[in-house]
């Protein structure tokens, strides 16, 4: 059986099929065990590939070697059920894309994940773990208030800490904060944009504080585990 390079992930992520391959003589070339044909047909059907044609019988005269017999007979069937692979692939990509859209991350990182899915590099939910997601910014500052808001939301989601730097007269003041919530305060003055406030506990003093996003000069997210005794 021969499989094109772009469809190899479909085979690799179907562990129930691998046990029927007796050899892999070249990339994309697999030899199926003829004696277990009924078993691997059932396995292919359970995996969603139920369009395998009946294997054509070969005579001794047509056979050059057992290996070539298998390559010829099972290679001929690939074109008939490759459409099933393609259809299954599209369904998987569509499902993964839907789940990516629901993830809490920036639009840019969602776009990167979807690009991986369309290249068939992501085929299961387990691959959508934090470790496999595109690296997100762990800091924000200046006038990029939107980035500071996103970073605060991310810290709340991951239960992480924030290192908040604010300007104090002619100096800078740093605080280590355990964020509790991000509050949106809407002004009564028409046309004035809302103010976002970071509410949390300053560590190690454990004092409550509330800081407007616009007052934060620099914001950095830190893992809580780094400060756990």
The domain in which residue 61 lies consists of: 5-128
- pLDDT single digits (tens) 181-224: 999 988 777 778 889 999 999 988 899 999 999 999 999 999 87
- pLDDT single digits (tens) 73-117: 555 555 555 555 565 667 788 888 888 888 777 777 788 878 888
Q: Quick one: 36 and 99 in the same domain?
A: yes
Q: What is the tally of structural domains in the chain? A: 2
The last residue of one of the domains, among 128, 153, 173, is 128
Q: How far is CA 221 from CA 128, 137, 153, 217, in A?
A: 22, 9, 10, 14
Question: What pLDDT sits at residue 79?
Answer: 55
Q: Quick one: 152 and 123 in the same domain?
A: no
Structure tokens at 71: 């390559």
Say if 134 falls within a structural domain.
no
pLDDT, greater one: 128 or 119: 119
> Which has the closest alpha carbon to 139: 159, 158, 164, 157?
164
Q: Quick one: 31 and 96 in the same domain?
A: yes
Q: Quick one: 145 and 212 in the same domain?
A: yes
pLDDT band at 63 (very low <50, low <70, confident <90, very high): very low
Secondary structure of 177-209 as H, E, C letters: EEEEEEEEECCCCCCCCCEEEEEEEEECCCEEE
Question: What pLDDT sits at residue 91?
Answer: 79
Residues near 45 by beta carbon (within 8 Å), at least 6 away in sequence: 52
pTM of the model: 0.42
The arithmetic mean of pLDDT across residues 106-132, rounded, is 72
Q: Quick one: 64 and 154 in the same domain?
A: no
- Verify cis geometry, omega within 30 degrees of 0, for the bond prior to 204: yes
Q: How far is CA 85 from CA 54, 125, 149, 195, in A?
A: 17, 19, 43, 51
Say if 102 falls within a structural domain.
yes
């Amino acid at each position: 059986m021969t499989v094109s390079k772009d469809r190899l992930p479909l085979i690799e992520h179907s562990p129930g099929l691998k046990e029927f391959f007796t050899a892999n003589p070249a990339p994309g070339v697999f030899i199926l065990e003829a004696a277990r044909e009924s078993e691997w047909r059932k396995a292919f059907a359970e995996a969603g590939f139920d369009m395998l044609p009946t294997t054509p019988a070969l005579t001794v005269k047509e056979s050059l070697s057992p290996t070539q017999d298998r390559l010829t007979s099972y290679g001929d069937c690939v074109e008939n059920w490759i459409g099933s692979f393609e259809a299954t692939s599209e369904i998987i990509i569509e499902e993964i894309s839907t789940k990516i859209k629901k993830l809490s991350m920036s639009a840019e990182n969602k776009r990167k994940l979807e690009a991986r899915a369309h290249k068939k590099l992501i085929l299961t939910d387990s691959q959508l773990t934090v470790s496999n997601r595109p690296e997100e910014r762990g800091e924000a500052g200046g006038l990029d208030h939107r980035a500071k808001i996103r970073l605060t939301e991310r810290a709340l989601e991951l239960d992480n800490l924030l290192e908040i730097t604010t300007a104090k007269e002619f100096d800078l003041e740093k605080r280590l904060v355990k964020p509790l919530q991000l509050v949106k305060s809407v002004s009564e003055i028409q046309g004035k944009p809302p103010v976002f406030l970071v509410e949390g506990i300053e560590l190690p003093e454990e004092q409550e504080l509330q800081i407007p996003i616009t007052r934060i000069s620099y914001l950095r997210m830190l893992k809580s585990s780094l400060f756990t005794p």
